[in-house]
């Protein structure tokens, strides 16, 4: 016989699975807002090179309205809202309604919706949806990572010289440009090549499925990496998040990759 505790645990697991499945449906349904681009040309500048469009606002409003019905007790943390008074110990939806807004503005078709669900400071599941290529990356804590329902893993590359990496340029943090390009040059000298896609969530997803072997960007917010970081770890990769700086890679290159990303005092002074 199952104990009452066991029954409650099974019920909680079923409830969480239902929330996860519904959340994926909500995200995918709203993907049409990105591909349709209605309002993508209506732009407001939040800061230098930091933009928001009508699409960002509309997608966040629609998704949050549906998520509140799904779990009325959960808090809502999103890029396009004030996030005062968030209790990190409670249940939280973490949403970037358009990760890659500049891409969307220019019709450079690499933008995603990124959603994570956290409880007690732990991310329980994440969804990154690329509607332009109809690719839905999902991960649940302890259950692996998937692309359109099929299991994915990070690459098996063991040498940085065999790797394709992505380095974000953080346009909103241009005072650190010299430092960032110094990092990029060191990585470029040692790896096969570098890519810059313009959506951290998508680049993390590409690390998770093995298209990229490493990723780094500074000055990220939690909605940029929450879902993607879980994807990477559930796919067998490693992540290092130090304040606003995020690194992810296949395990065998971690030590060398991380060492090359460190900034010397001379580079910091020159920057």
**What pLDDT was estimated at residue 267?**
43
- The whole-angstrom separation of Cα 68 and Cα 57 is 17
Q: In what order do the strands lie in the sheet with 238-242?
A: 193-195, 164-167, 214-217, 245-249, 238-242
Q: Please report how many Cα atoms fall inside a 13 Å half-sphere around the Cα of residue 198, on the Cβ side.
A: 15
**What pLDDT was estimated at residue 1?**
45
58 and 81 in contact (C-beta within 8 Å)? no
Give the confidence band of 7 by pLDDT, cuts at 50, 70, 90: very low
CA distances in angstroms from 162 to 167, 189, 200, listed in the order given: 16, 12, 22
The superfamily in CATH containing domain 4-152 is Fructose-1,6-Bisphosphatase, subunit A, domain 1 (3.30.540.10)
**pLDDT tens digits for range 24-62:** 999 999 999 999 877 667 767 655 555 788 899 999 999
160-270 — its CATH code?
3.40.190.80
Residue 177 has pLDDT above 70, yes or no: yes
**What pLDDT was estimated at residue 220?**
92
Mean pLDDT computed over 156-185: 88
150's tokens: 């099929």
Domain span(s) for CATH 3.40.190.80 in the chain: 160-270
Higher pLDDT, 86 or 7: 86
Domain span(s) for CATH 3.30.540.10 in the chain: 4-152
**What pLDDT was estimated at residue 265?**
43
**Model confidence, pTM:** 0.90
Tell me the three-class secondary structure of 141-177, residue by residue: CCCEEEECCEEECCCCCCCHHHCEEEECCCHHHHHHH
Give the lowest-confidence range in 56-65, 71-80, 133-142, 185-194: 71-80
């Amino acid at each position: 016989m199952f104990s009452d505790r066991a029954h409650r645990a099974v019920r909680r697991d079923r409830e969480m699975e239902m929330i996860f499945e519904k959340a994926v449906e909500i995200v995918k349904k709203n993907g049409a807002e990105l591909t349709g681009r209605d309002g993508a040309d209506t732009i407001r500048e939040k800061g230098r090179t930091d933009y928001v469009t009508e699409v960002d606002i509309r997608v966040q409003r629609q998704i949050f309205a549906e998520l509140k019905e799904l779990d009325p007790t959960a808090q809502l943390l999103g890029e396009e809202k004030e996030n005062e008074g968030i209790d990190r110990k409670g249940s939280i939806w973490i949403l970037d309604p358009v990760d890659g807004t500049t891409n969307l503005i220019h019709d450079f078709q690499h933008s995603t919706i990124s959603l994570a669900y956290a409880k007690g400071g732990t991310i329980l599941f994440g969804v990154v949806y690329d509607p332009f290529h109809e690719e839905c990356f999902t991960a649940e804590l302890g259950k692996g990572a998937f692309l359109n329902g099929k299991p994915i893993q990070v690459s098996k590359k063991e040498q940085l010289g065999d790797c394709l990496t992505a380095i974000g340029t953080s346009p909103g943090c241009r005072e650190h440009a010299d430092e960032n390009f110094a990092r990029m040059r060191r990585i470029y000298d040692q790896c096969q090549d570098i890519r810059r896609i313009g959506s951290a969530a998508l680049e993390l997803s590409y690390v998770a499925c093995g298209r990229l072997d490493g990723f780094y960007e500074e000055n990220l917010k939690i909605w940029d990496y929450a879902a993607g970081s879980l994807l990477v770890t559930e796919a067998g990769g490693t992540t290092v998040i130090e304040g606003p700086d995020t690194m992810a890679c296949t395990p065998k290159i971690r030590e060398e990759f991380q060492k090359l990303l460190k900034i010397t005092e001379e580079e910091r002074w020159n920057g």
